């Protein structure tokens, strides 16, 4: 019997500490918070969990330390149905972590300490060679070294898999990595940086940025939050999705949910119109769900 198509996520794992308060502090300001709680995260980990929840066979390649944070992250992947045989235990660095501060409107700002995520590289790609060679979709982000992303993308492209890069956080991509990307997914800020367009605040602006980036990438998706989603490809085809009207509980993790569902849908063979619609609906549902009610 043929195995289901595989989504492999090569990327970051962070132990997150979320803090709720009335507002995010300004420079030099102390704000009294109302609550805090731990959460398993990292863009890579979040996207892997999302892909598995969307029904894809999903494997994670990453690195954590042999500490309490690392053990908690591994247990979470296992509980959420994500394979983790290639999540390496690093003896030199601590597990990656982050602190996210949420305001009363559900928006947030975060600081990450990458730790063991920065040790990912060629050795991890070689160790997971068979996994990468059989992946229908490889999901990458910018929370691990560019050279590691390049090595993984080369392996997947050599066997016909699709490389999806969520270029977040925003940073300049190496020409070598850019040439290996099949699907580029960026938010408004990342789209502005990579495309050189004006501020992306509207759906029309998101589409303009997607069209410009499609001159360099086969498929481009710009997620513009409450403005909607824009898509363009190298053949000149475009698509826009209007925002889904919901009551915002928390925007945390919306982008990762979108990526995971998009990757799962592509692995199942869905075209971009249907895959983007499913991803958009999943992200909207997550945003409307309070953090303490998410599975």
Rounded to an integer, what distance in angstroms lies between the CA atom of residue 56 and that of residue 265? 8
Instruction: Choose among 52, 39, 47: nearest CA to 80.
Output: 52
Please identify which residue in the block is written with the tokens 């990450």.
Answer: 112
Please identify which residue in the block is written with the tokens 């363009």.
Answer: 232
Burial grade of 135 (CB within 10 A; 0-12, 13-18, 19 or more): buried
HSE-CB for 171 with a 13 A CA cutoff: 13
Query: Is residue 180 within 8 Å of residue 158, measured between CB atoms?
Result: no
Catalytic residues: 256
Residues 6+ apart with CB under 8 A from 107: 24, 251
Rounded to an integer, what distance in angstroms lies between the CA atom of residue 28 and that of residue 47? 34
Q: Give the DSSP letter string of 210-264.
A: HHHHTTTSSEEEEE-GGG-EEEEETTS-EEEEPPPP---S--TTHHHHHHHHHHH
Q: Tally Cβ neighbours within 10 Å of residue 23.
A: 13
Query: Is residue 194 within 8 Å of residue 214, measured between CB atoms?
Result: no
Q: Give the DSSP letter string of 189-211.
A: HHHHHHH--S---SHHHHHHHHH
């Amino acid at each position: 019997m043929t195995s289901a198509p595989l989504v492999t996520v090569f990327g970051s794992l962070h132990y997150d500490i979320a803090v709720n308060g009335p507002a995010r502090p300004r420079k030099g300001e102390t704000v009294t918070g109302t609550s805090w709680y731990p959460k398993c995260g990292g863009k890579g980990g979040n996207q892997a969990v999302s892909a598995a929840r969307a029904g894809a066979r999903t494997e994670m390649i990453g690195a954590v330390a042999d500490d309490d944070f690392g053990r908690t992250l591994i247990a979470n992947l296992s509980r959420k149905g994500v394979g983790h045989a290639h999540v390496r235990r690093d003896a030199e660095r601590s597990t990656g972590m982050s602190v996210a501060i949420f305001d009363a409107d559900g928006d947030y700002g975060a600081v990450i300490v990458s730790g063991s995520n920065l040790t990912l590289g060629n050795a991890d790609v070689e160790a997971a060679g068979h996994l990468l060679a059989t992946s229908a979709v490889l999901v990458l982000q910018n929370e691990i070294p560019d050279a590691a992303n390049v090595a993984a993308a080369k392996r997947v492209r050599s066997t016909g898999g699709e490389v999806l890069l969520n270029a977040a956080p925003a940073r300049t991509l190496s020409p070598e990595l850019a040439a290996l990307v099949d699907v580029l997914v960026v938010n408004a800020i990342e789209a502005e940086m990579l495309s050189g367009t004006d501020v992306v605040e509207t759906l029309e602006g998101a589409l303009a940025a997607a069209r410009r980036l499609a001159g360099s990438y086969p498929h481009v998706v710009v997620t513009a939050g409450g403005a909607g989603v824009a898509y363009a490809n190298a053949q000149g085809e475009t698509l826009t999705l209007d925002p889904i009207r919901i009551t915002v509980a928390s925007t945390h993790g919306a982008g990762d949910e979108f990526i995971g569902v998009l990757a799962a849908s592509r692995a199942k063979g869905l075209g971009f119109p249907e895959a983007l619609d499913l991803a958009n609906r999943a992200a909207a549902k997550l945003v409307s769900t309070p953090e303490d009610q998410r599975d």
